[in-house]
Chains A and B, each alone.
Chain A
Amino acid sequence: MENADGALLEALIAGRVDAFEELYERFAPRLLRAAHCITRRKEDAEDAVQDVFIALVRTGPALREVKNLNAYLFTSVHRSACRRAQQRSEHEQIDAESIAAPHEGDAEGAHSERLSRALQSLPLEQRTVLSLKIDGEMTFEQIAEMLNVSVNTAASRYRYALEKLRSALAPAAKAPTGGTHG
């Protein structure tokens, strides 16, 4: 257990509110991104991350066994998000409101929206590896161990996911932004 995380874990075990706030500030944005990547729904992502925080309270003193807090949290959110994603049909129509459009109207916002849509069109196994690698900042070894696959499989899924995203974004990127045809 890292020293900094060890102190934080002890504070969490003691139930200190400031410790949970610190944990939220440090990890919640990345946990939400990872959960949203897997569930593709805002509500499910938020519920999955809340599940992680509640699980920390329930785990109590057993948290002292945690060696890597980051990996522990992302393993936890992955399980929770997958459970919630499975509860909904994988073929269910994605709610348009659940797809990010934070900067609608400007070029950056439009690109962000395209990226989100492209990300959500990936298969679940590729989205999972991508979120654990990008948002969870986990190594392929850690991801492989978590998903019970080989390191090469985890790395391949990541590579395929990135290439699919690039292909999905390429036509839009190459499309002329100025004049019109005809």
Chain B
Amino acid sequence: MAESDELPPELSELEQQLRARRVPAGGEVYKQRVLQAVMNERRATERPSARLKRAASAWTFAAAIAAAVLLWLNLSLIAVSDTQLRAGAGGSSDERREAVQQLLEAVPELSIEDAQRQVLLFEAGARGIRAPVPKRSSTSL
């Protein structure tokens, strides 16, 4: 039966009755129930995305902090590796200066920076582990 085919009058009348029929469903209470369900669903679908956005912003913040720390560390290491150790500069003691001088006299091929570094290492080592003091009576030393 095509759309244009006409129904007999009694069937057309039946169609009209079917169009006008009422069902026991619906009503104002039901309408409010549907709209409330829609709003609940909307809130439920919005909530995870808002949570994701918050989590994403937290991760972005953490990543920015981590990047800043890594950059600072990297720059610090570069600065340390490119900076000469100026041991003895400023508040060096006379003893240290004298020790450097003695070391330079003993090993003239050392640069002054290396001599200062060696003196500092000697001092640090002497503080860390006390060197044994040889006794006059000892024959093993």
Contact = CB atoms under 8 A, between A and B. Distances in A.
Contacts of B37: 50, 53-54
Nearest to A159: B1
A102 B2 contact: no
A159 B28 CA distance: 35
B18 interface: yes
| Chain A: interface size category | 35 or more
Contacts of A49: 25, 34
A50 B30 CA distance: 9
Nearest to A162: B11
Interface stretch (B38-46, B69-77, B106-114, B121-129): B38-46
A21 to B, nearest CB: 7
Given A53-B37, A155-B2, A158-B1, A32 B25 contact: yes
A114 to B, nearest CB: 10
Interface residues of B, number: 29
B94 interface: no
B23 A165 contact: no
A163 B42 contact: no
Contacts of B45: 57-58, 60
Nearest to A154: B1
A100 B15 contact: no
A85 to B, nearest CB: 14
A102 B24 contact: yes
A115 B18 contact: yes
Interface of B: 1-3, 5, 7, 10-11, 14-15, 17-19, 21-26, 30-31, 33-35, 37-39, 41-42, 45
Given A17-B39, A53-B37, 5 more contacts: A28-B34, A115-B18, A140-B1, A159-B1, A162-B11
Interface of A: 15, 17, 20-21, 24, 28-29, 32-33, 35-36, 42, 45-46, 49-50, 53-54, 56-58, 60, 98-102, 111-112, 115-116, 119, 130, 134-135, 139-141, 151-152, 155-156, 158-159, 162-163, 165-166, 169
